[in-house]
Amino acid sequence: MRHISHRVSAEVLLVALLSLGSAAAGAAEFKSIATASSQTAARSAEQIGEWKTGGSSIWSAADAVLLDQSSSLVQNAEARSSATATFGHLTFVSRTATTQTSVSGVQPGTRAESMASAEGADSFVITCLTCVDGTRGVMNFRVVLEGDVGMSHSSTNSTTGQPIPGPDREMSYFWSANLTMRASGVAAEFPGPGWVSQYGYDYLAMVNDRVVAGGSREGTGIYNLQLEFEFGRPIEMLWQGTAMSSSFLHDSADTVIGALTAQSYAAFTNSFYWDGISSVTDADGNAISGFTALNGAGVSYAQSFADVVVAVPEPGMGALTLGGLALLAMLARRRRG
């Protein structure tokens, strides 16, 4: 088995915030979508999601799982995805896996693809007892991006357990994460004071052990950021996160007796969240204590949202794949008998 595991990286991309309030924090809105599709030689399955929208939290999940078997061929294709969005926290997970064993040598190919995307728009206002609305301040805050991506593939003779020449195994993953913030009364044009844009992405596509496409910039981890704002005026936020993966076993005109596998994932289970405001100062650099950072629903952005997430299970990938491989082994034993 060959295994490739790649930690993520990213690139700056401007995402404009739409109409911004000027007096108070507006209503939050969250969206999520998940889709999955699988295809074997005999049939196909898919769940095509629609954007769900909510005012406090939202989640979506999709599964497309197939297991086809006959006296000469077993195929398994799985595509699973999930996405959540709530105050200061997004998750987005995409997983795919394909397995195929042929005793007769016919390798017809199989495919799995999935996508998950989450989005949140919110705003909050920083105030304090001694602060004058409309005067400038600076806040220091943290954002955390956590996730893993990876892929693996194999081509194995069912009798000897040795690698065999076989059809191509093709895998890919993609993720992107973006937070754009604008402070009302400060920001006019981007780039400039009163704006923060933190964007990352990573993409990799491989055929067997050969990289055929890819690119990345930035990465996962903790980001310590700073924003100039005005006390008493909204700070607008737009959060976006997307994960996609695919696994594809190509068909073959040659007779290939053996087992093929391909898997790929982009899993941001506890992924993109606001980790609190560490400090606030006035325009002269004096520390402000006792400040509040509340949205229109009274949710405090002074705190960390690391543990605030919609309770939806991460898409699993192991049980059916392992079951399919067990069936493949049984099929091979019967053929030899």
Q: What is the pLDDT of residue 330?
A: 41
Q: 334 or 306: which carries more pLDDT confidence?
A: 306
Q: Is the pLDDT of residue 189 over 80?
A: no
Q: What is the pLDDT of residue 311?
A: 58
Q: Is the pLDDT of residue 20 over 60?
A: no
Tens of pLDDT, residue by residue over 255-294, are 888 899 999 999 998 789 999 999 999 988 999 989 999 9
* For residues 11-38, average pLDDT: 58
Burial per residue of 130-157, b for 16 or more beta-carbon CB atoms within 10 angstroms, e otherwise: ebeeeebbbbebbbbbbbbbbbbbbbbe
* For residues 212-237, average pLDDT: 93
Which amino acid is located at 15 in the chain?
A: V
3-state secondary structure 43-112: CEEEECCCCEEECCEEEEEEEEEEEEECCCEEEEEEEEEEEEEECCEEEEEEEEEEEEEECCCCECCEEE
Beta-carbon contacts of 67 under 8 Å, excluding residues fewer than 6 positions away, are 74, 75, 76, 320, 323, 324, 327
Asked if omega into 108 is within 30° of 0 (cis), the reply is: no
Q: Tell how strand 89-102 and strand 221-230 pair up.
A: unpaired
β-partners of residue 173 are 204, 245
Q: What is the pLDDT of residue 187?
A: 75
Which amino acid is located at 327 in the chain?
A: L
Q: What is the pLDDT of residue 312?
A: 58
% of the chain residues with pLDDT over 90:
55
Note whether 201 and 220 are within 8 A (CB).
Answer: no
Tens of pLDDT, residue by residue over 70-127, are 888 899 999 999 999 999 999 999 999 999 988 888 888 899 999 999 999 999 999 9
Q: What is the pLDDT of residue 26?
A: 52
Q: Is the pLDDT of residue 253 over 90?
A: no
* CA terminus-to-terminus distance, the chain: 27
In angstroms, what CA-CA distances link 296 with 20, 146, 235? 14, 28, 11
